Structure 1
Amino acid sequence: MKKPLLKLSILLVAFTFFNACQNEDYLENKEESIILEEQKEALTISELNAIINESLTATGTFDWKDVDEHTLWSAVVRGNNILTIGYGQEGESFAELKTDRLKSTLEDVLQIVEDNEGYTRNRESVVEHDIINVVDVKVEHLETIKQLFNKEGVRYLEPNGYNHYEVVNNARSSSGCDKNGAYIDPAHYTTISPNNAQVSWHFHQHNIPQAWNYSTGSGITIGLIDTGVSASQPLLNSSGINDGYSSGRFVQKYGTFIDSNWWWSSNYDGPDDKCGHGTAMASTMAAPRNDNGMPVGVAYNANLVAYRATEDVLLNDYHERKGVSSALTALGNRSDVKIISMSIGYLWSIGNIKDAVKYANSKGKLIFAAGGTSTSFTNGYGVIFPATMSETVAVTGVDDGSNYERCEVCHSGSKIDFTIIMEGDNNTSKAPPVLGFYNGDRRYTGGSSVATATTAGIAALVWAKHPTWTKTQVLNKLKQSAEFYPNKNSSFGYGNIDALQAVQ
């Protein structure tokens, strides 16, 4: 899906082939391969990655607003010529109805792009976002960046098509994905009614089974933004989500991820999980409590609205970033959705997602985000975006030892709000068991991802017990039920949540 730019020499050789081969694949490669004469001096991918690494090493973060015009333009060139522009006044992240001033600002921005790029806007050069004040444009010329760089009404400029940073850390596009079933050690779960329903060992660490005497999440709708939910797992689809002790609820699946080499494409890839990660998160939060001998979800009577917004957990692709922002605005617009869970992220802030988080937050959604689970890409870094935002509730995993220690693959830091136990002391227990990708399968999965989904499920229990509460009241109740409250630990926030205390 992610293709590098071809060198100009290859394009010149291919030009003679153009007249005979005007097929779609050739046109696609030709458009992605154009590098103008002025772009020969653009920084290389290695040079750009070195700049990013220097910032991450020195400050723990990186922001495109801190680079100069030439560096930004170089990243746009190396990122399929996609420039994402946040427009409006500072802090004006979204507008459900665009004012005349906003419309005028956008028009001025697009006119600068057209004048310098020499094209008339169309579906292949300009993509507007709904609600958030963001537009994506095709940019090839450095002069365009220069004129936009300090223009009033431009909040940020980002090369949202630049997806090459992970190459230096050998990350794979399949980060967090697993569709394989596994043998589950009976020591890692207990059984309850009806007839062998399985409760993960880590639920007991937070008194979740006891909390079910007060609330099961009924009437609350959780929004999941992830890789979708597997069509092959009936217990998370309409055919099986109402079974046993789970009843009167619904599951809905949508897709905002576009799998295409054309950045402006609207060819959505559907709602179904192809990775396995989203299915595991859905299981943790809302798997039914029935007699199938399968893992039960925390809020087994909650409704679930799942969005396939990403290909995997790493938000390193233009279509993933756009997919997540679209899912956030869609869930923000739903009055029935109370909670949003996102076990996905990236090392630094992404403007269009940041704007969409702010919109969903303004609509009263309680947004949980994973603090980070180490892969070859993120290992060694602190809390990741969007868990770094004040509008989200950041969660990570710890072990069950007497002294707080993060789980082997979990991130920690001052941005963390809550922790969930994900492994035994000295890694003596495996991760929690969840429903597998296929019918009848189970598997293990953990890290800050499952910790986040678990916390979202506990929040659903609290909100179901107090359906008239606001998100602030629910969040305060979670804080009050956590181990360190009223204090906040510098690495683990308020600490482990007691679900029983939270619902009493």
Structure 2
Amino acid sequence: MTPPTLPARRRAKTLSLLLAGALYSGAVLAPHAAAESPQDPWYMDTWRVQEMWEQATGEGVTVAVVDTGVDASLPHLEGQVLEGIDLNIDPDGAHVDTQGHGTIMAGAIAGTGEGGGIQGIAPGAKILPIRVDKGLEFDFGQEDRWAQAIEYAVESGAKVINFSVGAEGVSGSPDGLEAAIAEAARNDVLIFAATGNSGESRNIISRSADFPGVVGVGAVDRNGDHAAFSVHGSRVALSGPGIDVPGYCPDGSWEEACLIERGGTSAATALASASAALIWSAHPDWTKNQVLRALAQTAEGDGQRDDYVGFGMIRPDRVILEEGVDPGEPDVNPMFDAYERALDPPVSPEPVPEEEPEEPAEEDAVPEEREQERSDAAASGAGGNGGSSNTPALIGVVGGVIILGGVAAVVIVSRRRTA
């Protein structure tokens, strides 16, 4: 399946569990459990990707992949990856990925499928690699680096930030990360984060997904049903394919990589980020609020959110290929409006009612005509009621509408979907 030609630090961690591998490989299946090739995973047909590519391929959109680095030397990522930055204490470069996790995420987003590699759903998008960890190791400054990563992504012009990594059990002040998330919101940048794969055990939300303003992504199966491993709770906003997603199993070198069918909330998040890139390239004039609203409206939950799949499995094809999608108000966030308006300064300040100009007093409205009326009245002896006594009264109506910030109440249906 070939796409059309493209236009050209201080954080104390009480329980260290960096999920560079866990968010993805937590849902490992048997090799080749699904028949599809890495160029044609099941969601390519479900989402009518070939048809979407006739409208948009993600061109003009940069997706920041905050992860373990991205190996840009692979054929399917050649020309897709920007320079990026390595924010680790001992940096090796953003294109170094000893874990393979970030490289898999980049492939799911913007891979071209060349050389037998992964085919991403937004091959026209560019990947901005931001390396923030090196794998399963103790790190007392991880979230500081996450904040730096967001700041760097925003400064570099990324429209979408993908967090398929996270941590559990961290403690300390979140001020720096919260400030970075707020600044991203002010700059019209969407942040997607994996909710985690401990749904069948601890069910603890991944740290990167538990902040207001971050879109938490869960995982579903081919039928759009909740994957049992996917963390459930109030922070789940949307879901993406998290089972039977193609990936690589690095076995000493990428040249001898083995294709296996994997998944997890990491992959689901990458596909959500890629979907946002597709929609934004098809509607470059939309704001992040409109892109997010379109994703929620067209998801398979039919407008109803629950704690297992959020609004349901995303369907970018419905936004791009079908009519009737209303992106809504550009300055109103469909999920975090109360949060964004409470920021200082707010992302979208309360609109100020427009005041109609005051009507001039009748005596001063048309002085020449009034003077003439007086002259005519004096000449006829009719007094002040003569001449233009039927002049209509002017009624000034001053109206103003204040849009109050707030998140619309949603009936949450507590239900458990099983994979």
TM band (smaller chain): 0.5 to 0.7
Q: What amino acid sits opposite 2:233 in the alignment? A: G
The residue number in structure 2 matching 1:461 is: 278
1:211 maps onto 2:52 in alignment: yes
Residues 123-150 of structure 1 deviation map (CA, whole Å, 9 limit, x = unaligned) = xxxxxxxxxxxxx6xxxxxxxxxxxxxx
Counting only pairs closer than 5 Å after superposition, residues 44-123 of structure 1 correspond to structure 2 as none
Counterpart code for 1:215: A
Displacement after TM superposition at 1:496 (Å) = 1.0
Q: Which residue does 2:231 correspond to in 1?
A: 411
Per-residue CA distance 1:370-397 (angstroms, 9 max, x = gap): 011239xx94124322212221111010
Q: Is the 8 A contact 1:205 1:421 kept in 2?
A: no
Secondary structure in 1 matching 2:208: coil
Partners of 2:19 and 2:279 in 1: how far apart? Answer: 36
Aligned residue number for residue 160 of structure 2: 339
Contact 1:299 1:458 in 2 (8 A): yes
Aligned AA (1:221): T
Contact 1:255 1:270 in 2 (8 A): yes
The equivalences for 1:40-439 within 5 A come to 160=11, 162-166=12-16, 175-176=21-22, 185=32, 187-189=34-36, 198-230=39-71, 233-236=74-77, 240-241=78-79, 251-259=82-90, 268-271=91-94, 272-290=96-114, 292-312=115-135, 317-335=139-157, 337-347=158-168, 350-374=174-198, 379-401=201-223, 404-405=225-226, 407-423=227-243, 431-435=244-248, 437=250, 438-439=254-255
> With CA pairs under 8 Å and 6+ residues apart, which has the higher RCO, 1 or 2?
2
1:175–1:295 distance in 2 versus 1, CA, 3 Å: closer
Q: Write the distance in 2 (CA, Å) between the matches of 1:352 and 1:370.
A: 20
**Letter paired with 1:224:** V
Question: Deviation of residue 183 (structure 1)?
Answer: 9.0
Letter in 1 for 2:242: M
CA shift at 1:414, angstroms? Answer: 1.7
1:226 deviation in Å?
A: 0.5
Query: 2 CA distance for matches of 1:451 and 1:390?
Result: 20
Would you say 1:499 and 2:316 are equivalent positions? yes
Structure 1 residues 174 and 300 mapped into 2: Cα distance closer, same or farther (>3 Å)? Answer: closer
CA contact (8 A) 1:207 1:498 kept: no
CA contact (8 A) 2:19 2:167 kept: no
Is contact 1:329-1:356 (8 Å) kept? yes
Which amino acid counterpart does residue 338 of structure 1 have in structure 2?
K
In structure 2, relative to structure 1, the CA distance for the partners of 1:446 and 1:351 (3 Å cut) is: farther
**Match of 1:251, SS?**
coil
Unpaired segments ≥5 residues, structure 1: 1-135, 137-158, 191-196, 242-248, 260-267, 424-430
Instruction: Compute the displacement of 1:408 (Å).
Output: 3.6
Report the equivalent of 1:126.
none
Report the residue type matching 1:228 in the other structure.
G
Q: Which amino acid aligns with 2:311?
A: Y
Change (3 A) 1:220 1:440: farther
Report the identity percentage.
27
Larger displacement relative to structure 2 (437-446 or 220-229)? 437-446
Distance across 1 between alignment mates of 2:144 and 2:237: 27
Q: Take 2:19 and 2:310, find their aligned partners in 1: how far apart are those partners? A: 31
Deviations 1:277-330 (A, max 9, x none): 11111111111144x23320110111110111122389x622322222211111
Q: For 1:409-428, what per-residue CA distance to the aligned partner results, in whole angstroms no more than 9, with x for missing partners?
A: 221212111112323xxxxx
Measure, in 1, the Cα distance between the counterparts of 2:116 and 2:136.
29
Distance 1:446 1:417, change over 3 A: same
Q: Could you say what the CA RMSD is over the residues aligned between the two structures, in angstroms? A: 3.0
In the alignment, residue 178 of structure 2 is paired with which amino acid?
K
2:299 partner SS: coil
Taking a change above 3 Å as real, the CA distance of residues 296 and 183 of structure 1, as seen in their structure-2 partners, is farther
SS at match of 1:301: coil
Q: Which runs of 5+ in 2 are unaligned?
A: 1-8, 322-419
Give the aligned length: 302
CA contact (8 A) 2:57 2:281 kept: yes
- Aligned AA for 2:195? G
Could you state the TM-score of these two structures normalised by the residue count of structure 2? 0.65
Q: Do the aligned partners of 1:229 and 1:253 also contact (CA within 8 Å) in 2?
A: no
Shift of residue 436, structure 1, vs aligned partner = 5.4
| Contact 2:144-2:176 at 8 Å conserved across structures | yes
Offset, 1:483: 1.5
* SS in structure 2 of the partner of residue 439 of structure 1: helix
Partner Cα distance (1:323, 1:214) in 2? 36
Deviation at 1:216, TM superposition (A): 1.0
Tell me the alpha carbon deviations over residues 338-358 of structure 1, each in whole angstroms, 9 at most, x when there is no partner: 111001122357443233222
CA distance in 2 between counterparts of 1:217 and 1:172 reads: 30
Report the equivalent of 2:396.
none
Q: 1:226, 1:452 → 2: CA distance?
A: 12
